Every structure is written in C-alpha cells, then in structure tokens.
Chains A and B, each alone.
Chain A
Amino acid sequence: MTVLKTEGLTKHFGGLVAVSDFNVEIEKGELVGLIGPNGSGKTTIFNLITGLYKPTEGEIVFDGRNISGWRPDRITGLGIARTFQNIRLFTELSVLDNVRVGYHLRLDSSPFVAAVGLPTYRREEAEITEKSMQLLDIVELDDVAQEKAGGLPYGQQRKLEIARALATQPQLLLLDEPAAGMNPEEIRGLMDFIHRIMHMFELTVFLVEHHMRMIMGICPRILVLDHGVTIAHGTPVEIQNDPKVIEAYLGVEEEEDADY
C-alpha cells in the first residue's frame, strides 16, 4: 500500500528552481534512498514533504490524504517524522525532555488539567516518561537521560534526534544525512540500527545520504537528483552504471571510494 506519493512536486525560490517535477511512490515498509550532489535539492524535498516549504506546484499525498501546504505540526501528527542535516536538538533541554517533547502532540490532558497537576495528567506524564526511557534505551542513551542535549558528543546527538522523531510515532521516517561525520564502523552500526527500528516500529524510511556506499548497501531503491531534476531511479546496480549519474558525480565518486 502506498504510504507516500508525490506528483509533479516543484519548488521555486524567486528565480531559482530548487526542485522540478519530483515524482515518487513509496510503499509501506520500503527503504528508499535519495542521493545527489550538494545543492541538488534533497533537503528541499524533505522540507516540502514535512511542510516547512509550500510547493510551488505539484501534490504530496500521504496515506491517501493530500497534505500539500499543510502545517508541519499537522503533518507530523499524521505520521511523518524527520531528522535534520544539521541536527536540530533542543540543546538546553535534557536528553529525556527532548524525547518527551515528541510525545506531546498525542497528549490527551488539556492545559488546565496539566496546570493544576491533576492525577489524570500525572498518569499520562508517567506513561510518557516510561515510553521515552524505552526509546532512549533502544538508542543506548538511557544512561545520559538527564544530561543537557547540547553537551552530548556528535554521534549521540544524532541518535537522540532519531529517538525524538520516533517518539512522535511516525509511519514514515525521513532521515536527512544521518551518517554525516561517521566513520565506516559507525555507519555499519547505523545501517543495522535502521533495519532494526524499521522492523520494530513497522516504519517506512526515506533516506537522504551523501555516502554512496551506505546508500548502495542499504537501499533497494534509489532516486538520484541533480539541480532539482530526477536523473535516475532504480536499484543500486542500475544507478551505479547509469552514465548520467556518473557524470553528475564526476570526480566525487573517486573521493568517496578513497574513504574506504
């Protein structure tokens, strides 16, 4: 069953065409990759899907509903969560609080109940704390739950961001360059982790990555973007041998290989 579908998705910034006619259909349980040189529009597509940008043209359909132009928090409420390329944590809040914010949108208690501290609210709060600790346990951050998020090392901050996204109970998870700054061993760990959570939470994942090896290794289906235009779409093998892709990445691929 189709979880996400975009049709003719286009975004202009004044005179600049950031994304042009982007079309994708993602089925439940799939792990789809999106790659492209820097500035090709990958993050813009994520921003469009999550509602941070309004599409200039085109449609975004999630779970059968047209969400084009919806507010980001409503889209998250519907079941799409994301992480950011530059990690956007609530740095002054604790690790635990960062995750607990993710559960806020499903809160039943009204502000009046919360402001007075009635038992119904306190029960919900305890539930939220328990579920958040479970998530932290999964990402192995439970021992630093009370630390300030901003004080964590980079790799742990990335994991926290994913935990926070998971707290919103998404169907579709958008990961924006989750492997940035990781060494090969960490990347392997990340790949396992993604598989695990996909299985655990029945997730569909749409992944943007710059590390060619990682994307090739983990995504059965990949789209390639260049200057906002989709230039290729297929399996890793097809992509690797596509002349257009090679041209777009000319020179970059050699550098990537040098990493390993």
Chain B
Amino acid sequence: MSLDMFLQHLANGISLGALYALIAMGYTMVYGILRLINFAHGDLFMISAYMAFYGVALFTLPWYVSFALAIVLAAVLGMMVERVAYRPLRDAPRISALISAIGVSLLLENVAIVVFGGRPKAFPRPSLFAYEWKFGEIRVLSLTLFIILISVGILLAVFYLVYRTKTGRAMRAVSRDFGIASLMGININQVVSLTFAIGSALAAAGAIMWGMKFPQLLPLMGVVPGLKCFIAAVVGGIGSIPGAMLGGFLLGVGEIMIVAFFPTLAGYKYAFAYLALILILLVKPRGLLGHVAEEKA
C-alpha cells in the first residue's frame, strides 16, 4: 500500500473515530451516572439525523438552523426519555431499567419505520463540506477534516465542562455515589437530566456529521453505530470520558485499517467491534482507562 493510500485511510479512520468518540461519550456519561446501558442512545442518534433532514427537506430551513435545531430537540427528547422510562425505575433492580431501555429503543425504531418509512432518505450535504481536496493520489473531503475539527472541539468543550466547572463536579459526584451526592445538596434529578441532555446532544451532533458522511438515512441506521459505540466506550473504560474518546478513535481507525489491509474480510467488518469487546471484557474488564475497584462483600 502506498503512503498516500495509507494516509487517506488514516484520515478516514480518524474521522470515523471522531464520530464514534462523540457517540461513545454519550453512552459513557449516562452509564457513569446511572449504571445503565442506554440501548435507546443509538435510536436517538437516528431520530436526530431524521430531524435534521426534515428541517431542510420539509421546512426548508437553512442547514445550519436545521442542524442546530435538531441538536436542541435531541437534547429535549433525551431528557424526556429519561423522565418517562428510566426515572420511575431508579429504585428497581438494574435489569428493569435495561429492559425499559430496550423497550424505548424498540419503540423509537418502530415509530421511525411507521413515520419515516423504510425507504432511504438522502441527507443534505452542504457545499461547505463537499469540497474535495487532492494531495497527490489522496482525495480528502473537506467534510472529513471538518468532522475531526468539530468533534475535537466538542470533546474539548465537554472535557472542560466535566472537569473544570461546578456543574461538572456535581456530575462526577453523582456518578461516584448517588446517595452521598444527594446528601451534599446536589439535585440528582437535575444532574441526571443534564447528563442525558448533553449525551443526546452529542449523539445528535454525531448523527448530523454521520449523515453528511454516509448520506443514506434508514430507520435502523442507529442500531449498529449505537452498539459499536457502546463497545468503544467499554473498551476505553466505561464511565471514563477520556476512555470513551480513546475507545471511539481506536474503533474507528481499527475498523478502517483492518479492511484496508485485509479487503477480503470486509464483510466481517461489523464483527470486529464485537470481537474487540469480547476480548477486552475477558482480558481487562475495566477497559483501557478504567479503574479497578474490588467489591467488598
């Protein structure tokens, strides 16, 4: 493989990894706070993409308005889901919330099938993102670079929020210990809602960029990325925000590179994430950047 090809694949990999990182962060934040795998996260991703699409296609809004609106609406939807489907089960065994998450996921997918229809929709790709730059043999879409820049920007913003602000400290406290955090006067419900809002917004941002990169919208488009990104979060260390970022990038780069070097395995691309998951859970269950905490009997 020539250096040019390698760099092209690398760029694609990092770009994909950035998207995975954004979505993985949403998972990890929710898991960190509620110890819940939000199975519906991937479907929120999907709905955001559709909302952004309809904003442009149906309401003929300019793309930047539609995109921004989709992100806001996604945050609201995320908070609603938490309020309706997870909060009532907070005292129930953890499995109940997990089953509820599955239920929400099923509901969102089926509603999407009914409302949006099963035929793929074409996501808008504004010309800003459609330039193609040529470096020698390499062709890079401006989109690819924008994705990396925007994602990194968002990730830094989240980092700042969680580690440098009072709100972020509250979020970290709640994820450490629910009971004590509430005794310290932190409003748990607010923190949880905020976490869901941010997580959903991240998914929405990821969805919009995903839609521009892979313009085919389908009702079940969120399932595979959703699962892959949760795996990325686990590989990096579930509950750890840097971990989610690392996991996302590793997964994105890995996926592209493996297919680049072994094109015959392309059909199995999907399975790599799962194999990575199984491997990590067996070898280092806390993930690459996770903490080891021994359970006291």
On A, residues with C-beta under 8 Å from B are: 13, 43, 47, 52-53
**For A52, what are the chain B residues with a Cβ–Cβ distance below 8 Å?**
297
Closest to B297 in A: A52
0 or 1 for each of B258-297: is its CB under 8 Å from A? (1 = yes): 0000000000000000000000000000000000001011
Measured between beta carbons, the chain A residues less than 8 angstroms from B296 are: 13
Q: Are A47 and B297 in contact (CB under 8 A)?
A: yes
Q: List 7 A-B contacts (CB under 8 A).
A: A13-B294, A13-B296, A43-B297, A47-B297, A52-B297, A53-B294, A53-B297
Instruction: Name the residue of chain B whose CB is nearest to the CB of A54.
Output: B294
Residues of A within 8 A of B294 (CB): 13, 53
Q: Chain A contact residues: over half helix, strand or loop, or mixed?
A: mixed
Separation in Å of the A8 CB from the closest CB of chain B? Answer: 20
In the assembled complex, the CB of B173 is this many whole angstroms from the nearest CB of chain A, namely 20
Nearest Cβ on chain A to B296's Cβ, whole angstroms: 8
State the CA gap A52–B294 with chains docked (Å): 11
7 closest residue pairs by CB, A with B: A52-B297, A47-B297, A13-B294, A53-B297, A43-B297, A53-B294, A13-B296
A13 to B294, CA, bound (A): 8
Note all chain B residues with C-beta closer than 8 A to A43: 297
Q: How far is the CA of A53 from the CA of B297 in the complex (A)?
A: 8
- Give, as a whole number of angstroms, the nearest-CB distance from B293 to chain A: 9
**Shortest beta-carbon distance from A192 to chain B in Å:** 29
Within the complex, the shortest CB–CB distance from B217 to chain A, in Å, comes to 47
Provide the bound-state CA to CA distance between A228 and B297, in Å. 17
CB-CB under 8 A from A53, the residues of chain B are 294, 297
Q: Which residue of B lies closest to A50 (CB)?
A: B297
A109 to chain B, nearest CB (A): 31
- Of chain A, the residue at the smallest CB distance from B294 is A13
Contacts of B297 in A (CB 8 A): 43, 47, 52-53
User: A120: shortest Cβ distance to chain B, in Å?
Assistant: 36
A190 CB to nearest chain B CB (Å) = 23
In angstroms, how far is the closest chain B Cβ from the Cβ of A16?
11
A47 to B296, CA, bound (A): 9
Among B19-64, those with CB < 8 Å from A are none
Q: Which residue of B lies closest to A52 (CB)?
A: B297
Q: Which residue of B lies closest to A46 (CB)?
A: B297
- Distance A53 CA – B296 CA, assembled complex (angstroms): 9
Least distance between A51 CB and chain B CB atoms (Å): 10
Give the distance in Å from the alpha carbon of A47 to the alpha carbon of B297 in the complex. Answer: 8
B203 to chain A, nearest CB (A): 35
Interface flags for B132-166 (1: CB within 8 Å of A; 0: not) read 00000000000000000000000000000000000
CA distance A47 to B294 in the complex (A): 13
A175 to chain B, nearest CB (A): 16
B256 CB to closest chain A CB (Å) equals: 39
Tell me how far the C-beta of B57 lies from the nearest C-beta in chain A, rounded to whole angstroms. 54
Identify the closest chain A residue to B293 (Cβ).
Answer: A14
* Minimum CB distance partner of A13 in chain B: B294
User: In whole Å, how far is B93's beta carbon from the nearest beta carbon of chain A?
Assistant: 12
Q: How far is the CA of A196 from the CA of B296 in the complex (A)?
A: 33
> Within the complex, what minimum Cβ distance (angstroms) separates B42 from chain A?
34
Which residues of chain B from 52 to 106 have any CB-CB distance to chain A below 8 Å in the complex?
A: none
Q: Bound complex: CA of A52 vs CA of B297, how far in Å?
A: 7
> Which chain B positions have C-beta within 8 A of A13?
294, 296
Least CB distance, A60 to chain B, in whole angstroms:
16
Chain B residue at minimum C-beta to C-beta distance from A86: B297
Roughly how many angstroms separate A253 CA and B294 CA in the complex, as a whole number?
Answer: 33
CA distance A43 to B296 in the complex (A): 10
Q: Chain A nearest CB: distance from B297 CB in Å?
A: 5
